[in-house]
Structure 1
């Protein structure tokens, strides 16, 4: 099959990471793939590095006739069997461009978010089918009026070949000049309010009272960068909270940690929890949306109430105080995520859906 992925977001997060994993794994299964996004988008940069054909169009708005025509030209040039869209704007533009063609490709929209939908048109009318990354999102869309017959859940998959803790240095302590006995608690996520970094900062003083050798790692960038830096400085936490910015060495960071924490306010599924589990890390997460589909409370990690810094501190303290519990939960997490969330399982699910839609055509 020939598959064109479209994305109107210029940033890099869980949905772009999933898209790249789909590209790589579907290519290995013999399909031809390309990416269309906006100029300067990180998905184009990463796709080019991986050897995929890319197209750049400035998708300025939902009703943008010149760019709809440009999209139609790309579709006619690449001749995809399937267009897989990933955000609202590219779904509208690519969907309208495809519907202008006589023998049009099938249109699949992947819904990555656990948020209210803003346009039922981009779920029920434009696409032929909607893919959700978790059962929670599937139920959410169905409750919002999208026909359940048009929805399929294909959980996000991860390339587990990259997550072998025995072969990764995990040298973050050396990089930061910390002693080998320092306890590292970290998160890797875009710096947005809803990712819960402020709840981690709420918890830091409570944890340091019990574990003065604990250090906290924030990897990622985003709109809250300056606000978080200011709070860390104001509260005198700079010696124990380390902001690393956007990093490519995710596995090295994870291999350095003792506990992974992400008290997110909303999460469709949570690729970060899958990656942490793959590195045999116990996690502290909020009991919200699709997170319980990835984190098994008391088995692979600990689930805490939403926006509760005290609960985050108590959960982290519990894990830091019990190395045996940390090791057991980490082992359980690795076994669970490798069974349920491999990118091969994800690619097989997407491939079966595409083929079913093409058979109907």
Structure 2
């Protein structure tokens, strides 16, 4: 069966939708940033959106600052769970929401149960993670439809038993990095003008493959004496473990740790090649950001990473956990400035010129999915019904 694909041109839907998003996480990472970008883009298309989150959630703080209505409830513990279900049920009924869109396990169980009790027309669960599905109830009985952020994640859901007709692939939106005047990472790090810089931007967790990248860089370090590796991101205890590994390899003067940075546009501008040796990835939006800045990218053939690039055109794919293959890919790009420029230009055109992965394009797909699913269920938006 052909997987459901939702695309639509930029423009507003015929009816304004009322959409409630929920997220249980209090930290702010890639998943929460995607929710933020989608909600802003959907509001720009004329829809009304609100959020339910936990106290102290950074996503709630950011959306509140952006002018959204944010409801905060504690989702931990049996008593709070029951109170939360009742709260969401009342909210959905009182404010006459057309769509509930949940994002994590805890808020899905709580909010979707409240939505079932409220008779909400459409309950959608977005799956952001590239992990095996332990239980299907959140994707079948609780939710009417599911959004997977990559074709790989959709396949995982289907392999776990989800119904093909109920799961659509809609990629995560990507906001292109901005460059601030007067900021130079190369100058900050004291890199020579002729340095060839390989860069990686990722939280430091074992699954991101920083150790493989360091091993690959060590293999090419003699052949390319002007090459430097810049690792952007934080995460204990791996950060300190990687620093110790670099020191043991005698590469402390050529491998640089910046910690977490917020000026990603300026960071990417300092690189000649972007590489991330991740072992698991639902999509890999950082590859898209790097390509948008005109960088050739090297990624691993796992999860949704192949969906972010055109292998051989905008970048190179290598097997995961294979430092030798990664070293060969690095060498091929460091040795060929023409190839670097060609791949970088192709990636920039694909992302910026064609608008792939833009928040506006993704919001159009989400909007079309919502309206199509409401129609399939015989439940047009409340605004359309009252017209």
- Asked if TM exceeds 0.5, the reply is yes
Separation in 1 of the partners of 2:240 and 2:92?
41
Deviation at 1:79, TM superposition (A): 4.3
Larger Rg: 2
Aligned to 1:134: 150
In 2, Cα distance between the equivalents of 1:256 and 1:270? 20
Contact residue 170 and residue 256 of structure 1 kept, 8 A? no
Structure 1 partner of 2:344: 330
Displacement after TM superposition at 1:76 (Å): 4.8
Cα deviation digits, residues 154-201 of structure 1 (max 9, x gap): 1222234x45x7x86661111222222222211112211111111111
* Alpha carbons of structure 1 residues 213 and 148: separation in structure 2 relative to 1, 3 Å: same
Q: Is residue 273–residue 297 contact of structure 2 (8 Å, CA) maintained in 1?
A: yes
1:283 aligned onto 2:300: no
What corresponds to 1:186 in structure 2? 199
SS in 2 for 1:230: helix
The answer as to 2:187 corresponding to 1:171 is: no
Shift in CA distance, 168/183, structure 1 to aligned 2, threshold 3 Å: farther
Compared CA separation, residues 23 and 286, structure 1 to 2 (3 A): same
Higher RCO structure, 1 or 2 (CA under 8 Å, sep 6+) = 2
Note the alpha carbon deviations across 1:82-133, whole angstroms, 9 max, x for none.
Answer: 12111111111111122222x4252111111221112100001111110111
Cα 1:244/1:77, change in 2 over 3 Å: farther
Between 220-229 and 107-116, report the one with greater CA deviation: 220-229
Structure 1 residues 90 and 306, CA gap change in structure 2 (3 angstroms): same
2:335 is aligned to: 321
Asked if 1:7 is matched to 2:23, the reply is yes
Counterpart of 1:301 in structure 2 is 315
In structure 2, the partner of 1:84 is 101
Q: How many residues align?
A: 357
CA apart distance, 1:61: 5.7
1:222-278 Cα deviation digits (max 9, x unpaired): 353333333334444332222222222111111111111111111122111111111
Q: Distance in 1 between matches of 2:261 and 2:91?
A: 32
The equivalent of 1:271 in structure 2 is 285
Q: 1:168, 1:80 → 2: CA distance? A: 43
Q: 1:168 to 1:79 in 2, by over 3 A?
A: farther
Rounded to whole Å, the distance in 2 between the matches of 1:334 and 1:348 is: 22
Q: Quote the Cα distance in structure 2 between the aligned partners of 1:180 and 1:45.
A: 41
SS of the counterpart of 1:100? helix
Alignment match, 2:125? 109
Structure 2 unaligned blocks of 5 or more: 1-16, 380-387
- State the partner residue of 1:343: 359
Give the counterpart of 2:211 among 198, 201, 208.
Answer: 198
Whole-angstrom distance in 2 between the partners of 1:142 and 1:62:
31
3-state SS of 2:198 partner:
strand
Closer, same or farther: CA 225–65 of 1 in aligned 2, 3 Å: farther
Q: Which residue of 2 aligns with 1:51?
A: 67
Matched-pair contact (CA < 8 Å) for 2:302–2:320: yes
Shift of 1:17: 2.2
Deviates more, 1:295-304 or 1:58-67: 58-67
State the alpha-carbon separation in 2 of the partners of residues 25 and 351 from structure 1: 10
Which of 264, 274, 278 is equivalent to 1:260?
A: 274
CA distance in 1, matches of 2:25, 2:245: 28
Residue of structure 2 equivalent to 1:229? 243
State how far apart, in whole Å, the 2-side matches of 1:318 and 1:61 are: 54
Q: Judge conservation of contact 1:136–1:289 (CA < 8 Å) in 2.
A: yes
Please, what TM-score do these two structures have when normalized by structure 2? 0.85
Query: What is the RMSD of the two structures over their aligned residues, measured on CA atoms?
Result: 2.2
1:10 to 1:312, Cα distance in 2 relative to 1, 3 A? farther
Aligned-pair CA distance for 1:285 = 0.5
Moved more, 222-231 or 212-221: 222-231
Residues 214, 61 of structure 1: alpha-carbon distance in 2 compared, 3 angstrom cutoff: farther
